Amino acid sequence: MKVSRVGVVGLGGIGRVHIGGWRELGAELHGFDELPESRAVAQEDLGLQVHPDLASLLRSVDVVDVCTPTDTHAPLALAALRAGKPVVCEKPLARTLEEADELIAASEQAGVPLFTAQVVRFMPEYASARDAVAAGKIGRPGVMRFTREGGMPNPQGWYHDMARSAGIIGDVMIHDIDFARWLAGDVVRVYAKLMRPAGPQNGPTHAYAILTHVGGTISHLTASWARQGGSFRTSYELAGSEGMIDYASDQRPVVQTIPGTLAAPAGSSFGSSFTRELAEFRAAIEGGPQPRVTAHDGRAALAVALAAVTSAQTGQAVELPVSATPYEGSAPVAAEVASA
């Protein structure tokens, strides 16, 4: 099928980012938001056709892009799938594994694709690292470290309601959970901690997790909503048997190996990574190759995130079932990123 008309459901912050990406790809844009005030604002400043209800939008578009709070992903995506519409769903795929399974089953039953928007896989500084690991540049991954730090969202908003969002783990850490799994395979054990510093914060603002991958790699993940001044910082350190890749968003990225140091590709803007992501989803819908992230990947990342929440709440490590073979590397994607 040809993707010409895209309906974005949820016209807040991430919805506007997706709208920018689809606009860059030349799509005819439609929108819907359950909040009347959001629909009114969008009608004024986003330059797209805003619909009064979901049914109206579904009748008017080829593809639906869900960009709403986490606990609404499943019912909205399910309605679109049952209407025969391919769906792009912002991460996490759903709030529960049962909901994720229902969405995947509905996609298969309707014969239309379902994609989880895990944008980190489309960022050049991350995709190039994955290529290096897949090509054996650092040997077999042994220990990996990831950080993701930003400012706090609305202290009274849904992000802090664990029943609705899975908190900082479901919103922030899940990016690095997905990336770690992309590099080193499925996660079989999770131990996590949540921290809430003294002050007016509504819910935990820091999370730390240790992941054990099926092939033996260990990942250390840190996420924070406490970074001051509105800045955002990410980093990773990938240590293998033959070298290391070391990146921080506020420093010049390099690839370090035992023979020497090689410059890594420079990163691109935040927005263009979303455009690449949406372009790859569109190509798959139109009959092209499978994208680098699927609904099953989204479900797997969600399973690890929820296990991390359980571990933090109980103080115990959580074991996960093995659903993939140990790490064996995979095909590179950096060339695809550069040409998208």
Q: What is the pLDDT of residues 35-81, one digit of tens each?
A: 998 898 888 888 899 999 999 999 999 999 999 999 999 999 999 99
pTM: 0.90
Dist CA 232 CA 294 (whole Å): 26
Three-state secondary structure call for residue 26: coil
Sheet bearing 87-90, strands edge to edge: 49-50, 28-32, 5-9, 63-66, 87-90, 114-117
Q: 124-134 and 174-184 are packed helices; what angle lies between their axes, rounded to 10 degrees?
A: 20
Q: Give 201's pLDDT tier (boundaries 50, 70, 90).
A: low
Class of domain 120-268+294-339: alpha beta
Query: Residue 88: what pLDDT?
Result: 99
Query: Residue 231: what pLDDT?
Result: 78
Query: Residue 132: what pLDDT?
Result: 93
Q: Residue 114: name the closest of 91, 87, 132 by CA.
A: 87
Query: Residue 102: what pLDDT?
Result: 98
pLDDT digits (tens, 9 = 90+) for 77-114: 999 999 999 999 999 999 999 999 999 999 999 999 99
Query: Residue 101: what pLDDT?
Result: 98
CATH architecture of the domain with range 5-117: 3-Layer(aba) Sandwich (3.40)
Query: Residue 338: what pLDDT?
Result: 33
Query: Residue 323: what pLDDT?
Result: 66
Dist CA 13 CA 314 (whole Å): 33
Question: Is 335 a residue whose pLDDT tops 80?
Answer: no
Query: Residue 203: what pLDDT?
Result: 65
Question: Is 254 a residue whose pLDDT tops 90?
Answer: no
Query: Residue 159: what pLDDT?
Result: 73
What is the domain partition of the chain in residue ranges? Answer: 5-117, 120-268+294-339
Contact predicate 91/116, CB 8 Å: yes
Mean pLDDT to the nearest integer, 1-5 = 93
Q: % helix / strand / coil in the chain, to the nearest 5?
A: 40, 25, 35
Question: Is 279 a residue whose pLDDT tops 90?
Answer: yes
Give how far Cα 305 sits from Cα of 112, 159, 207, Å. Answer: 26, 15, 11
Query: Residue 265: what pLDDT?
Result: 54
Q: How far apart are the first and last CA of the chain?
A: 20
Question: Is 326 a residue whose pLDDT tops 50?
Answer: no
Dist CA 95 CA 113 (whole Å): 20
Q: How many CB atoms lie within 10 A of CB 161?
A: 16
